[in-house]
Amino acid sequence: MLPERVSVLVAGAGPAGMMAAIAAAEAGAGDVHVLETTAEPLHKVLISGGGRCNVTHACWDPRALVGHYPRGGQALRGAFSRFASGDSVAWFEAHGLELVEEPDGRLFPRANRSTAVIEVLRHAAKAAGVQLHTGVALRQARLLNAGGFELELRRAAGQQQRLFAQRLVLATGSHPSGRQLAAQLGHSLVPPVPSLFTLSLAGDSLLQLAGLAVDPVALELRLAAQDCPPPPGTGRAAGPLAERFRQQGPLLVTHWGLSGPAILRLTAFAARALHAASYRAELSVNWTGNLSHSELERHFGQARQQQARRQLANWRPWPELPKRLWWHLLQHCGIDSQCRWADLSKQQQQALIASLRDSRYRVTGRGPFGEEFVTAGGVPLGEVNLASMESRLCLGLHLVGELLDVDGVTGGFNFQHCWSSGWLAGQAIAAAQIEPFQGLSC
Ligand SMILES: Cc1cc2nc3c(=O)[nH]c(=O)nc-3n(C[C@H](O)[C@H](O)[C@H](O)COP(=O)(O)OP(=O)(O)OC[C@H]3O[C@@H](n4cnc5c(N)ncnc54)[C@H](O)[C@@H]3O)c2cc1C
Output the domain CATH number for residue 418: 3.50.50.60
Residue 256: pLDDT over 50: yes
- Number of domains comprising the chain: 2
C-alpha span between 22 and 430 (Å, rounded): 11
Whether 332 contacts 355, CB under 8 Å? yes
In our burial notation (b when 16+ CB lie closer than 10 A, e otherwise), range 171-193 reads bbbbbeebbebbeebebebbebb
For 185, 222, 229, 370, the CA distances from 194, given in Å and listed in that order, are: 25, 19, 18, 12
* pLDDT value of residue 156: 86
pLDDT band at 434 (very low <50, low <70, confident <90, very high): low
Write the burial class of residue 399 (CB in 10 Å: 0-12 exposed, 13-18 middle, 19+ buried): buried
Q: Is residue 315 part of a domain?
A: yes
35: Cβ below 6 Å to ligand 1? yes
* DSSP designation for 303: H
Q: Same structural domain for residues 295 and 424? A: no
Domain boundary among 368, 392, 423: 368
* pLDDT value of residue 388: 97
Q: Residue 201's closest CA among 286, 264, 283, 274?
A: 283
Residue 52: pLDDT over 80: yes
Domain boundary among 368, 403, 418: 368
Q: Is residue 324 part of a domain?
A: yes
Atom of ligand 1 nearest to the CA of 45: 17
Q: Is residue 441 part of a domain?
A: no
160: Cβ below 6 Å to ligand 1? no
Section 136-161 average pLDDT? 95
pLDDT band at 439 (very low <50, low <70, confident <90, very high): very low
* pLDDT value of residue 290: 82
Counting ligand 1 atoms within 8 A of each CB, the residue from 19, 33, 42, 44 with the most, and so the one to mutate, is: 44
Q: Same structural domain for residues 180 and 270? A: no
Q: Same structural domain for residues 67 and 156? A: yes
Residue 228: pLDDT over 70: no
Residue 305: pLDDT over 80: yes
Counting ligand 1 atoms within 8 A of each CB, the residue from 45, 46, 172 with the most, and so the one to mutate, is: 172
Residue 437: pLDDT over 90: no
Q: Is residue 129 part of a domain?
A: yes
Q: Is residue 436 part of a domain?
A: no
Cα radius of gyration rounded to whole Å, the chain: 26
Distance of CA 408 from the midpoint of ligand 1 (Å): 13
Residue 255: pLDDT over 50: yes
Q: Same structural domain for residues 154 and 300? A: no
* pLDDT value of residue 409: 96
410: Cβ below 6 Å to ligand 1? no
Q: Same structural domain for residues 173 and 228? A: no
Percent of the chain with pLDDT over 70: 94
366: Cβ below 6 Å to ligand 1? no
Atom of ligand 1 nearest to the CA of 17: 25
Write the burial class of residue 225 (CB in 10 Å: 0-12 exposed, 13-18 middle, 19+ buried): exposed
Domain that holds residue 24: 5-189+379-431
pLDDT band at 81 (very low <50, low <70, confident <90, very high): very high
Q: Same structural domain for residues 23 and 144? A: yes
Q: Is residue 118 part of a domain?
A: yes
* pLDDT value of residue 373: 86
420: Cβ below 6 Å to ligand 1? no
Write the burial class of residue 96 (CB in 10 Å: 0-12 exposed, 13-18 middle, 19+ buried): exposed
Q: Residue 181's closest CA among 218, 219, 137?
A: 137
Residue 176: pLDDT over 60: yes
* pLDDT value of residue 240: 56
Q: Same structural domain for residues 100 and 239? A: no
pLDDT band at 369 (very low <50, low <70, confident <90, very high): confident
Q: Same structural domain for residues 95 and 125? A: yes
Q: Same structural domain for residues 118 and 241? A: no
Q: Is residue 440 part of a domain?
A: no
Domain boundary among 368, 398, 420: 368
383: Cβ below 6 Å to ligand 1? no
C-alpha span between 437 and 442 (Å, rounded): 14
Q: Same structural domain for residues 121 and 13? A: yes
Q: Same structural domain for residues 50 and 184? A: yes
Q: Is residue 374 part of a domain?
A: no
Residue 426: pLDDT over 90: yes
pLDDT band at 30 (very low <50, low <70, confident <90, very high): confident
End-to-end distance of the chain based on CA atoms, in angstroms? 16
Q: Same structural domain for residues 252 and 312? A: yes
pLDDT band at 372 (very low <50, low <70, confident <90, very high): confident
